[in-house]
Amino acid sequence: EYSYHLDPTGYPQVFIRRGASAALYRAGPWIWGAGFSGAGNPREDPTYKLTFVMDDNEVTYREDAIDRSVISRFTVSPTGLAQRWTWVDRRQEWVVYLNLPGDICDTYGLCGPYGICTTGNSPSCGCLDRFTPRNYDNWVGADWSDGCVRRSNLSCRGDVFLKYERIKLPDATSSWSNMSMTLEECRVECLRNCNCTAYMQLDVTKRIGCLVWYEDLVDIRSLSPDGQDIYIRMASSESSSKGGNKVVLIVSLASVTGVILITCSIVFLFIRKRKNVRKIEKEVNIYGSRDTDSELPLFDLSVISKATNDFSLGNKLGEGGFGPVYKGILEEGQEIAVKRLSKDSMQGQDEFKNEVIFIAKLQHRNLVRLLGCCIEGDENMLIYEYMPNKSLDIMLFDPKKSTLLSWETRFSIINGIARGLLYLHQDSRLRIIHRDLKASNILLDSEMNPKISDFGMARSFGGNETEAKTRRVVGTYGYMSPEYAIDGLFSIKSDVFSFGVLVLEIVSGKRNRGFSHSDSNLNLLGHAWTLYKEGRSIDLVDSSIGDSFYLAEVTRSIHVALLCVQQNVEDRPNMSSVVLMLGNEGVLAQAKQPGFFMERDVLAGQSSTSTNPASSTNDVTITMPEGR
């Protein structure tokens, strides 16, 4: 159930994982001249030689005994404890040479984002200098999973970098590297991308190499004297704050930039044709301003038309509320997916703008990546990374294709969606409620990693906002929470409800809407609830999975899903709790009655909010004006 392995994703690191996703321990990334950051072995190991190879053809790591007469073995226990044993001939017994995890601070992500663990401290978790706890009440209650936040918000332009010394470097799964860059070039690379959160030097002996992070920094601990140095992005106001960390200031070349911009503007006015001026005016209307933090690339219509073979039917992948979606191949060979706003679409400029603004500012491994957009004439198009396995619903609800979704894959998808939602609700620069989470909006890459997509209906919350009310209810029946469908109230708990429905669909292979059972008129939620009360949750499992699954993971997933779809908003957990519950074996609270657990309940909720009595299927995103 546990594995100890080298993971090359992002930048190579060593993990102990439970199943396919839940991390228990991490060492890394690899630092040339120092080894894996935070590894249990000292830099100069007297017994074992550490060898690491990374090039275009391979990424390998091995440990060899310096003295060939040394006999050793490596084990991973049923509880996830990895141990290296050495045979001591004089004592005629095996002796533990190394334990991983070695102490409480080796627990993966113990202190949450921007938290730092220090052995010997009480409590072990604290915030990095110039950071404060995200949730103070939870923090003092020894729940550090929410982590910490900067004292001052970033502005992108004018930010500074602070040097944090002698630490275990954060998880580098979402990172980028270049071995030929200098430290200064690395700083410039990080500075020009507003999503870059930190950078550091990869080769401490040759003083070269660059590694940059694109997400919140997780799994940090103090490691004096064997730790590494990292430069973390901070607000410019922190540059004058007193503290023990060195500050690297970003030099602003405002006057030079101003001259360049003025010159470029004059040239631009003389050489641009009238139609391109109209295009710029339209871009200003879409963005609200041409000066955005996203720096989202703009594609010419001719480029997209060529890539999609003039939007041919052979390239068409499908069609949604936004309009048709086409597969394309750019000249350099990159595969793309193009969403083309239809003139007859129920979604319009507001949804298009929503998608551009939100996705362009978000970056997470479980969110679909927006590569750019095309705004030309009457054409509005969004260009995404191409997902070869298309959307989850295509595989999940097809009797033949669903056999490709093993339990391990399904559980990995569940955890990936949970992490993506947690990022939206808590860890992103914008606190975002998706409002249309469903199987058809979960895309699958070549390795079946889930990517949350379609942010046209999303809303952002700021400050202390936790709930809002709308007269324009949008979403998909079968996934909408009761308080949202009936009263127009939405919050992060609305997404939690949708997530719970989605988990039950992934486990069962059945849609919530349209579900039928010979013994009752319950929908999928009601059926799962009945089985749960009778102690027969295992009967919900999709028959196409067979018997190849972990019973504890399946029943726990169903239990967590039922906690998410409870009738009362206050009873539902937040996504940080969901991620923790899915990843450990602690005792769960008893689930209470779900909302909309009978098909007639859904229809009643529908009729109370819509002036249109026609129902919507699971595959259709709907917009309902509230009746007066």
Distance from C-alpha of 111 to C-alpha of 105, rounded to nearest angstrom: 9
Do residues 199 and 161 touch, judged by C-beta distance below 8 A? Answer: yes
Do residues 236 and 155 touch, judged by C-beta distance below 8 A? Answer: yes
Do residues 526 and 594 touch, judged by C-beta distance below 8 A? Answer: yes
Distance from C-alpha of 438 to C-alpha of 432, rounded to nearest angstrom: 16
Distance from C-alpha of 165 to C-alpha of 173, rounded to nearest angstrom: 21
Backbone torsions φ then ψ of 190, nearest 5 degrees: -70, -40
Catalytic-labelled residue, pool 219, 427, 436, 619? 436
How many Cα neighbours within 13 Å face the side chain of 338? Answer: 31
How buried is 598 (Cβ within 10 angstroms: 0-12 exposed, 13-18 middle, 19+ buried)? Answer: middle
For the chain, what's the residue count? 628
> How would you label 290-319 residue by residue, b for 16+ Cβ within 10 Å and e otherwise?
eebbbebeebeeeebbebbeebeeebebee
* DSSP characters over 136-203: HHHHHTT--TT-EEESS---STT-EEEEEEEEEPPP-SSEEEETT--HHHHHHHHHH-TT--EEEEEE
Distances in Å between the Cα of 598 and the Cα atoms of 19, 47, 564 are 34, 65, 17
Find where tokens 């400050």 sit. Answer: 463
How buried is 219 (Cβ within 10 angstroms: 0-12 exposed, 13-18 middle, 19+ buried)? Answer: buried
Contacts of 430 (CB under 8 A, 6+ apart): 358, 361, 362, 460
Structure tokens given for 111: 């202190």
Contacts of 25 (CB under 8 A, 6+ apart): 15, 16, 80, 82, 100, 101, 106, 107, 108
* H/E run at residue 254: helix 254-271
Q: Look at residues 567, 141, 545, 443 and name the one whose alpha carbon lies nearest to residue 557.
A: 545
Helices and strands (H, E) in the chain, number of each type = 14, 34
Where would I find the beta strands (DSSP E) of 321-449? 324-329, 335-340, 370-376, 379-385, 431-433, 442-444
Distance from C-alpha of 390 to C-alpha of 325, rounded to nearest angstrom: 11
Strands 324-329 and 335-340: antiparallel
Distance of CA 591 to the CA centre of its chain: 27
Is there a catalytic annotation at residue 436? yes
DSSP label at residue 277: H
Distance from C-alpha of 479 to C-alpha of 482, rounded to nearest angstrom: 10
Helical packing angle, 407-422 and 551-564, nearest 10°: 40
Catalytic residue positions, numbered: 436
